[in-house]
């Protein structure tokens, strides 16, 4: 197998043409279910993307309560919990209404768990893993879904849902500033409950996750870019699920760069491959196609930190993925680990990156190769002629 092909695919895109990645073990992800169904939605929904615009439209549900926060659970706990979370729904067009879609939207609007009943006609015992969203259990195809209790919707969400003249872009940031969690915003966007009335439609879950991270990030950039510079460089390190994140924020205008180092177990590469994406003070105009959704998740976490401290800077996130990370769990791993790391950040003293002894040698070498550090060095040379 071509190792460069594997690192671009990461077991998800099937670039080799195989239906399943031979390096990812699905064998112990097996659920139990019956022909009829009654369960609890956390609440959450899942909108597929294969075959778009005709996709799987489903409520996520389990026979027992599933915690909404997975961080910092271990891998087996996450797979056990998410593997028992069924996708209960039907394949429908995203741009056409139906009674089932209305039920899905009611579930998405609820801030608290909601009980459902469903009449099933087919069960497919396949699990879904993806580098963007969390693992999911079997697909339970339903003729109907009924809520057995009323959804409880926050007043701010009711107002936004009823406002057919408010763009989804503005609605998402408004709700975020009202301290609603980003996971809630993602499912509202995915279920087609936000935006101009004529433009509302279902959005595949994996697209909605990255869209919310990007929308929140762009709004925060507009606030952070006008802050004063950091007084000193900031360093943070976080580790979770065999992912290590080394974060360096240098004083100066807003900028962001992220690159990854995937170690192989015969899975994605045999050595070390660096690949990344970046943006300057002027932002990005294209999708971060190398790091993909992880880029926007990490950027959001960094921007939240800078907004919290009232400063600006140019950030570098270096992600090292261990060989034990055999099953992708979604970009929430990146977002939550970077958030947690920056809660314990440290101020660095010195003028040269080689003086920052607290940073491990491997990370220092990686930082020195970054576009951000090269631009800082170039700027210093230009300033010396001023």
- Domain positions in the chain: 22-147, 155-221, 228-383
pLDDT at 81 over 80: yes
**Which carries the bigger pLDDT value, residue 220 or residue 127?**
220
At residue 264 the predicted structure's pLDDT band, cuts being 50, 70 and 90, is very low
What span, in angstroms and rounded, lies between the C-alpha atoms of 207 and 204? 5
What is the C-alpha end-to-end distance of the chain, expressed in Å?
54
Percent of the residues in the chain that have a pLDDT greater than 90, as a whole number:
63
pLDDT at position 7 is 60
pLDDT at 18 over 60: yes
The hierarchical CATH code for the domain 22-147 is: 2.40.50
**pLDDT per residue as tens digits for the range 289-348:** 999 999 999 999 999 999 999 999 999 999 999 888 878 899 999 999 999 999 999 999
At residue 271 the predicted structure's pLDDT band, cuts being 50, 70 and 90, is very low
Any residues with CB less than 8 A from the CB of 340 and at least 6 apart, and which?
71, 72, 238, 240
At residue 385 the predicted structure's pLDDT band, cuts being 50, 70 and 90, is very low
Gyration radius from the chain CA atoms: 22
Predicted TM-score (pTM) above 0.75: yes
Q: Which CATH class is domain 228-383?
A: alpha beta
| Section 365-372 average pLDDT | 88
Helices 205-224 and 182-190: crossing angle, nearest 10°?
130
pLDDT at position 206 is 95
At residue 380 the predicted structure's pLDDT band, cuts being 50, 70 and 90, is low
What span, in angstroms and rounded, lies between the C-alpha atoms of 314 and 316? 7
**pLDDT per residue as tens digits for the range 209-231:** 999 999 999 999 999 999 999 99
pLDDT at position 3 is 56
**pLDDT per residue as tens digits for the range 134-188:** 888 889 999 999 999 999 999 999 999 999 999 999 999 999 999 999 999 999 9
Question: Which residue from 107, 141, 286 is spatially nearest to 214, judged by alpha carbons?
Answer: 286
């Amino acid at each position: 197998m071509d190792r460069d092909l594997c690192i671009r695919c990461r077991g998800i895109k099937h670039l080799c043409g195989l239906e399943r990645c031979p390096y990812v073990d699905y064998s112990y992800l097996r659920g139990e279910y019956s022909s009829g169904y009654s369960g609890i939605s956390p609440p959450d929904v899942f909108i597929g993307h294969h075959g778009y615009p005709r996709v799987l439209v489903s409520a996520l549900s389990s026979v027992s309560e599933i915690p909404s926060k997975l961080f910092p659970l271990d891998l087996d706990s996450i797979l056990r919990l998410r593997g028992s979370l069924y996708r209960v729904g039907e394949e429908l067009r995203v741009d056409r209404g139906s009674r089932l879609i209305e039920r899905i939207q009611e579930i998405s609007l609820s801030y608290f768990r909601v009980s459902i009943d469903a009449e099933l006609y087919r069960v497919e015992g396949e699990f879904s893993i993806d580098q963007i969203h969390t693992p999911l259990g079997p697909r339970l195809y339903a003729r109907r879904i009924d809520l057995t209790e009323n959804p409880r919707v926050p007043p701010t969400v009711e107002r936004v849902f009823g406002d057919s003249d408010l763009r989804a872009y503005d609605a998402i940031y408004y709700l975020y500033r009202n301290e609603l969690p980003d996971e809630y915003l993602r499912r509202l966007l995915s279920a087609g409950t936000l935006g101009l009335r004529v433009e509302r439609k279902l959005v595949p879950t994996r697209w909605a996750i990255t869209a919310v991270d990007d929308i929140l990030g762009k709004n925060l950039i507009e606030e952070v870019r006008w802050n004063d510079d950091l007084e000193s460089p900031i360093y943070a390190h976080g580790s979770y699920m065999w992912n290590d994140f080394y974060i360096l924020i240098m004083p100066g205008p807003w900028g962001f760069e992220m690159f990854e180092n995937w170690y192989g177990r015969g899975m994605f590469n045999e050595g070390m491959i660096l690949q990344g994406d970046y943006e300057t003070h002027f932002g990005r105009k294209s999708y971060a196609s190398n790091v993909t959704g992880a880029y926007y998740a990490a950027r959001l976490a960094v921007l939240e930190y800078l907004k919290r401290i009232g400063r600006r800077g140019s950030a570098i996130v270096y992600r090292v993925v261990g060989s034990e990370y055999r099953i992708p769990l979604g970009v929430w791993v990146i977002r939550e680990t970077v958030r947690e790391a920056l809660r314990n950040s440290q101020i660095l003293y010195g003028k040269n990156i080689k003086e920052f002894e607290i940073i491990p040698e491997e990370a220092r070498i990686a930082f020195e190769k970054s576009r951000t550090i090269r631009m800082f060095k170039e700027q210093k040379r230009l300033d010396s002629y001023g």
